[in-house]
Structure 1
Amino acid sequence: MTSHDEATALRPLTLAWVSRHLAAGERVVRTEALHGGITAEMRRLTIGTRDGGTRDLVLRSFVNVENAEDGLNREADALTLLTGTGVPAPGLVAVDPTAAHCEYPSLLMTHLAGRTVLDDEGVETRVPLLARQLVAIHALRPAERPRTYVTLTTADTVVTPKGADAAAWAAAIDLIRKPAPPYEGRFLHRDLHPGNVLFDVPPSRPAAARITGVVDWTGASWGPVDLDVAHCSTNLALLHGPAWGPRFADAYEEAGGVLAATASERLYWRVRDGLAFSEDVRLVSRPWREAGRTELTARAVEERLDAYVTALMNAPG
């Protein structure tokens, strides 16, 4: 989704910085705000080329965001690592993680074709594609490992939803008080979900959908594949309904992915990720509504989160 107005114009220092990273004779001729992100301002920049054509770049700027330097450095490192791997990620053009040149910490990258798809229609086709893409990401073996993963919640910061199954949530909170299970580390995206994946969906053949890009690598890290799978599972459960969480985990294994050996270990990561969403339901639901899923109010998403966490805790085994 894009918008075109004066508010999308590049700030002077940022424009000068971008211009220094263009080829001779090129210039920014158009800017469009890209919506859907939570922490960053995203803009699509149309670049006029010397031969009269155009090409597109994407600018990410972190405005008043803590740890912007860390996130942008992680993304720059990840985009460099992913070059030539077959994972459809943007190419790094330039990064200014400390705002030494721009008004705000920023990263400039190539633009990928495709669009995010958040509708319920066709989800049964897209979930296996997401699973196969995540398996491919986890198969990467970087020469230099990224930083170890971080979790996004603690037992003391969980916000139990109003009207939630109190017993199920209390048990879930007790579960994540325990030490994390042992794991064999892998390269993680750490935020793979439908909002960070671009698709090409032919209008007349939705079953022929394909992934054209995976974006937002600021959380790239090293850790348990179960955490990446759990994160996408939670997003799908909130976006498309609680049943899609477990279905994504099944699709991941069907695609060749290997999860933790025991049910208790798998449950730990799924519950930990699900509880993390309890603190940010409003932030999570806002871009979905902006993208057209107006029925996904904060309360509706909160109810789905309760249903998902409760189902996890009540599942046999």
Structure 2
Amino acid sequence: MNRSADTEDVDGASWAATRAWAERALPPSERIENAERLRGGWTSQMRRLDVSGPDGKRSLVLRSFVDEFFVQHAEGLLTREARVQDLLAGAGVPAARPLAVDATAEHCDHPSLLMTLLPGTVRLADLGADRRADLLARQLLDIHRVQVDEQSRPRAYQAWTGPERVRVPEATGRPGLWRRAVDVIRREPPAHRPCFLHRDFHPGNVLFDGEGAELRISGVVDWVETSWGPADLDVAHCSTALALLHGVPAGMEFVDRYVAAGGAPAEDPAAHLYWRLLDALAFAPDAEKVAAPWRELGRTDLTPRLVAARLEDYLQALLERYA
């Protein structure tokens, strides 16, 4: 057995209680043989747990919130994710299934969710990005088409920024651009037809399997922010991420891919611009919080300066197209 999996994580902090809790959630004949830290996230610690038993070996995923901010909100986040994962069973969306949840750390070192492991890998390379973006658009539309009754409906969306909360980069050479962008969101949210939202849909939360013509999405992860709101907001979030990851054109083209897949964003350009900027401005001042985990996954070219420049150029492109 990997003894580090028994007592410590890769940062040296104990997770013995969490490991014991996870093992109790398994059939009595199964044991955790190894644990490996998964990279690419920033809100939580993710581990792959390799389990063995009479029927052979399998792997699971353990999500634990260790940052103080997320620990404070863990009960709502993890409870929501487990509930959504149950809801998505049979809905045509490839999501993990929950096995056990301790959202208040009653038994664990930190609030935790144990779930099944989905096949595939996160793919962030520029090569093949167009093909993956088409698949992302189709998958996002499938998510928006998930039907839920009023009792099962997730919470209403929450905005992640506002005109008084935007942090404008101190070193910007285009302060007027930022003022224009912020002014767009100085209004009441546009009327919209709400639907089921992932709310944090972007390439880092999607797993792919296969190559070439066999390429497919094999999993969508991270359902802690699932909400009820405008499809434009999910489109906006993925668009911003694509602009930062692959360049401004990739971010601008995603809505067209969504429409080509059958999606229907807001017809009013001003309304669509509101949702796009509401999302993009939440990444200010430098989008470093998403670039850091992407660098862990191999995109070392995504320096703070580059993603900051791409975010600013993306704001300019949005205003030129929709304002």
Whether the 8 Å CA contact 1:147–1:221 is kept in 2: the answer is yes
CA distance in 1, matches of 2:109, 2:322: 53
SS at match of 2:284: helix
Query: Paired residue for 1:151?
Result: 159
Query: Paired residue for 2:40?
Result: 36
TM-score by length of 2: 0.93
Query: Paired residue for 2:281?
Result: 275
Percent identity (aligned):
50
Q: CA deviation at 1:7?
A: 2.9
| Runs (5+) with no aligned partner, structure 2 | none
Q: CA deviation at 1:261?
A: 1.8
CA distance in 1, matches of 2:109, 2:286: 27
Residue number among 223, 236, 239 corresponding to 2:242 in the alignment: 236
Query: Paired residue for 2:63?
Result: 60
Whether the 8 Å CA contact 1:165–1:310 is kept in 2: the answer is no
SS at match of 1:86: coil
Question: In structure 2, what residue type is equivalent to 1:165?
Answer: R
Whether the 8 Å CA contact 2:36–2:48 is kept in 1: the answer is yes
Residue-by-residue CA offset, 1:171-224 (whole Å, 9 max, x unaligned): 11011111110111100000010000000133xxx3431100000000001000
Residue-by-residue CA offset, 1:62-104 (whole Å, 9 max, x unaligned): 0022311111111011101101111000011111111111011
Query: Paired residue for 1:47?
Result: 51
Whether the 8 Å CA contact 2:157–2:229 is kept in 1: the answer is yes
Q: CA deviation at 1:163?
A: 2.4
User: Does 2:107 align with 1:101?
Assistant: yes
Query: Paired residue for 2:204?
Result: 195
Question: In structure 2, what residue type is equivalent to 1:156?
Answer: E
Q: CA deviation at 1:164?
A: 4.1
Counterparts in 2 of 1:215-294, with a 5 A limit?
215-279=221-285, 281-294=287-300
4+ aligned runs moved over 6 Å, structure 1? none
Q: CA deviation at 1:165?
A: 2.2
| Runs (5+) with no aligned partner, structure 1 | none
Query: Paired residue for 1:27?
Result: 31
Question: In structure 2, what residue type is equivalent to 1:59?
Answer: L
TM-score by length of 1: 0.94
CA distance in 2, matches of 1:151, 1:278: 14
Whether the 8 Å CA contact 1:129–1:211 is kept in 2: the answer is yes
CA RMSD of aligned residues (A): 1.5
Change beyond 3 A, Cα 1:167–1:18: same
Aligned length: 310
Query: Paired residue for 2:9?
Result: 7
Residue-by-residue CA offset, 1:35-64 (whole Å, 9 max, x unaligned): 00111000000010123x100100000002
Whether the 8 Å CA contact 2:270–2:322 is kept in 1: the answer is no
Change beyond 3 A, Cα 1:91–1:298: same
Whether the 8 Å CA contact 2:286–2:308 is kept in 1: the answer is no
Q: CA deviation at 1:316?
A: 5.4
SS at match of 2:130: helix
SS at match of 1:104: coil
CA distance in 1, matches of 2:35, 2:322: 52
Residue-by-residue CA offset, 1:261-285 (whole Å, 9 max, x unaligned): 2111101000110100114622111
Q: CA deviation at 1:311?
A: 1.0
CA distance in 1, matches of 2:198, 2:298: 26
